Amino acid sequence: MTRVALIKTRDRLTGVPRALELLGAGPLTGKRLFLKPNYNTADPSPGSTHNDTLTALVRWLQAQGAERITVGDRSGMARTRAVMDGKGIFRLAEELGFDTVVLDELDAAGWQMVQVPGSHWRRGFALARPALDADGIVQACCLKTHRFGGHFSLSLKNPVGLVASRIPGEWYNYMFELHLSRHQRRMIAEINAACRTDLIVVDGVEAFVNGGPNRGTVVDAQVILAGTDRIAVDAVGVAVLRQLGTTRRVSQGPIFQLAQIARAVELDLGVHGPEQIELVSADAQSEEYAAQIRAILAQG
């Protein structure tokens, strides 16, 4: 069994720590953590990680004793430094006392080639060493669909930003391979076999139920999720999208047969079915909504 916390709220600054406390995460004394946000673009949430979500998460990690927090990403649809600057992340880093790294500015030594046995990547892929070398990886995800082949973008999809588009000095484009492959959703799951995730927060205060990752149909979902198991968190996130009314591709069939999740199960990256997920809530409003999500999960 693994626990996923669900909080119904519009307030990220209080909702994030409530979800983490309900989850029972921590302590993190002396840990050097890599925090992976969603900075594909600088579009407003859910197009990118909301600054209140990042602030609440950083403060909570610090209160749990984290020695060092590094926030980093590689944007897919814009220049990463411009995205982080546009969102005020470098200023926020000074205020809150965390480090930053712009992953697409790493030199060749900053990337580690990985080959997952039996994967659909033709020549493997390169992962950012700052994330691999950390004591733990924390994800700050958005709740949304993905119109470019991912179908949905949650904790399994978020680590795509830890993979190099190109390694400096080399010609091969790993993102071209990913986005042109008919195995894209399986390849997304395979990235997760090569990098750990220790803690996940999904900001669903607003959600894209169509479109994504940068723009789409926005709904006022008022949900924050927290967990440690990527499959469980994504299964709950998909169930929330289904409850809100989403695309045919996200709505069709059992949740655990969706390609990202099914491949993650094959790779034994977390739970293997909905019966292994304990969805917990903290108040009457959250529990009422959690009951609806449990019913959707129970369908498979």
Domain count, the chain: 1
Q: H or E segment at 97?
A: none
From CA 140, how far away is CA 201, in angstroms rounded?
5
Q: Is 15 left (phi over 0), alpha (psi -120 to 50) or beta?
A: alpha
Distance, in Å, from the CA atom of 98 to the CA atom of 103, rounded to the nearest integer, reads: 16
> What sign does the CA torsion over 139, 99, 103, 113 have?
negative
φ and ψ at residue 176, rounded to 5 degrees: -60, -45
Kindly provide the b/e burial profile for residues 163-182, where b requires at least 16 CB atoms within 10 angstroms of the residue's own CB. bbbebeeeeeebeebbeeee
| CATH number of the structural domain spanning residue 164 | 3.40.50.11440
DSSP 235: H
Report the C-alpha gap between 52 and 125 in whole angstroms.
Answer: 32
What is the per-residue pLDDT for 152?
Answer: 98
pLDDT for res 1: 94
Cβ-in-10-Å burial (0-12, 13-18, 19+) of 97 comes to: exposed
The whole-number pLDDT of residue 25 equals: 83
Query: In tens digits, what is the pLDDT along the chain, a chain of 300 residues?
Result: 999 999 999 999 999 999 999 999 888 999 999 999 999 999 999 999 999 999 999 999 999 999 999 999 999 999 999 999 999 999 999 999 999 999 999 999 999 999 999 999 999 999 999 999 999 999 999 999 999 999 999 999 999 999 999 999 999 999 999 999 999 999 999 999 999 999 999 999 999 999 999 999 999 999 999 999 999 999 999 999 999 999 999 999 999 999 999 999 999 999 999 999 999 999 999 999 999 999 999 997
What pairs with residue 171 in β-bridges? none
By residue range, what is the domain housing residue 272? 2-297
pTM of the model: 0.97
